[in-house]
Chain A
Amino acid sequence: MTKAKVLNVGIDLGTSRSAIAADNGTRTFISSCVGFPKDIVSRKMLGTEIVFGDEALKNRLALDLYRPFDRGVLNHSDSSEKHPKEYGKAKSVAKELLKHLVGLTTEEETGDLILRGVIGAPSLASTKNKKDLLEITEGILDDVMVVSEPFAVAYGLDLFSNALIIDIGAGTVDLCRMGGTIPSEEDQITTFKAGDHIDQVFLDLIKKKYENANLTVTMIKRFKEENAFVSARGERISIELPVRGKPTSHDVTNELGEACRSIVPEIVEGVRKLVAAFDPEFQDALKQNVILAGGGSQIVGLQREIESYMKETLGYGKVARVEEPLYAGANGALMLSKDMPDKYWDKVKSRKRGAGHGAEVVTIGGET
């Protein structure tokens, strides 16, 4: 029997980015895309059979590029019977992505490891969606649990009651009301006007204004991430876009602002519904504790924008943003994994002892 070290990981598999946090201090994220060389030339040029993240995006012309997640869940998860081939491909690509992500945390680990992970899923992910997540972890993680993503954020922030978490991702905006218990379906709302929606609206608006500009979603995505805003900041925002091959500066201030604002009404409507259906005695406390998380929460002025909408519709609202929006979900999931006692892990154990890493968990004196 060999002594094996337990490594806890918190994972947020997102439509655009996937983040991981481990209790050995590793914390990183990559773009959720995987590329396979198109032919022998590209394979030779890249020197590998598979490319991940930004590296894949950079070399996308030489690659067959896949994004395994859509709207926070595995691609074709809900239409697996209709599209079995695409579903199978999405699953195998997601598995590769997860393997790579987990590998980033175990690079410097030596000896036997028992990998325990908690994975975040969108608020209203179906059983099938969650099962898919469990399946892609097979052979990669030894023990795994799935939790609602905004709940993981709340857990990480130690906010169990009278708080409303808004997790703005690329594919979904998840709203979750914390009332001191595990959130039920009534406590959660998922909307699909999220980061990708902003990109699409922004692209359409630019194309409409500058007909000759040559651009793609990938081009404007990064630009949006660096410049997104909803407030009137005064300064103008320009983007360089090729027009007949020549880089030309284009003023996109109004277009970007409009695109970013396009997600706000649905978020505020979700907030209104969750507040209105909450115990009247605690509604004020809930309105004072709205927390923004996820990549989309980095939009400048979004907090104030939501607050002003809340003032209009609910009379009052106080919105704060988490310190590390990109890692909030992964951090919370990691905390859950670490806090989970061994005996609880044993209850959901799917690992075949000794099969993956040839190891037994050794604990001294405690309940296992």
Chain B
Amino acid sequence: MKIVSHGLNTFGEAGKYTSATAEYTGLVSYSYLKRGGSAVAKITRPVTSAISRPFVFVKDGAGKVFGKIAPDAKVLRRLEEKILQIEDRLSLIEKHGVVTAARPIPQEEEARLDAGRREILRAIVEENIQLRRGRK
């Protein structure tokens, strides 16, 4: 199979991105677990290693694949499968309460208040602002 130099570079770049993404996601997952404290970490060590295994595999695999020039269709398929596995695991982690920092966590108080109640609270605040200004 002949691969043109331009195509090869793009493919190589994509590989690097995949590798970096896998590594980053693994680190994010690890950091969330680590934040749980050492006691939790002890209990979750088997889980963390299980979770990080596919990331390590992908990282190593991707490194090997993209380090070499010729990608194999078989290797690519395996890579694809592993990425799917990672996605599944990520969705599982998210389902169990881990959320990415980019998404704001809704505050309990905000979630609990309906529009009417919020309106009343806002009016009380306004009244108190006026009171401090001495206009009321």
| Interface pick from A47-55, A224-232, A275-283, A344-352 | A344-352
Q: B129–A348 contact, CB under 8 A?
A: yes
Q: A341–B121 contact, CB under 8 A?
A: yes
Listed by A's residue number, 27 A-B pairs whose Cβ atoms lie within 8 Å are: A127-B131, A127-B134, A127-B136, A131-B131, A131-B134, A146-B128, A146-B131, A160-B116, A182-B120, A338-B109, A339-B109, A339-B112, A340-B124, A340-B125, A341-B109, A344-B121, A344-B125, A347-B125, A347-B129, A363-B107, A364-B105, A365-B104, A365-B107, A366-B106, A366-B107, A367-B104, A367-B110
Across the two chains, which residue of chain B brings its CB closest to A365? B105
Chain B binding surface SS class: helix
Q: A130–B107 contact, CB under 8 A?
A: no
List the 9 closest pairs (A to B, CB-CB), nearest first. A365-B105, A366-B107, A182-B123, A344-B125, A145-B128, A348-B128, A365-B104, A127-B136, A347-B125
For the complex, is A46 an interface residue (Cβ under 8 Å from B)? no
CB-defined contacts of A364 to chain B, threshold 8 Å: 105
For the complex, is A336 an interface residue (Cβ under 8 Å from B)? yes
Across the two chains, which residue of chain A brings its CB closest to B122? A344
**Contact-size category for B:** 20 to 34
For the complex, is B6 an interface residue (Cβ under 8 Å from A)? no
List chain A positions with a Cβ less than 8 A from chain B. Answer: 127, 130-131, 134, 145-147, 155, 160, 180-182, 336, 338-342, 344, 347-348, 350, 363-367
Q: How many A-B pairs fall under 8 Å by CB?
A: 70
Interface positions of B from 98 to 136, Cβ below 8 Å from A: 101, 104-107, 109-110, 112-113, 116-118, 120-125, 127-129, 131-132, 134, 136
Interface hub of A181, A336, A348 (most chain B Cβ within 10 A):
A348
Extra inter-chain contacts (5) besides given A146-B131, A160-B116, CB under 8 Å: A134-B132, A181-B123, A341-B121, A350-B132, A365-B107
Residues A339 and B104 in contact in the complex (CB < 8 Å), given A147-B124, A347-B125, A348-B129 = no
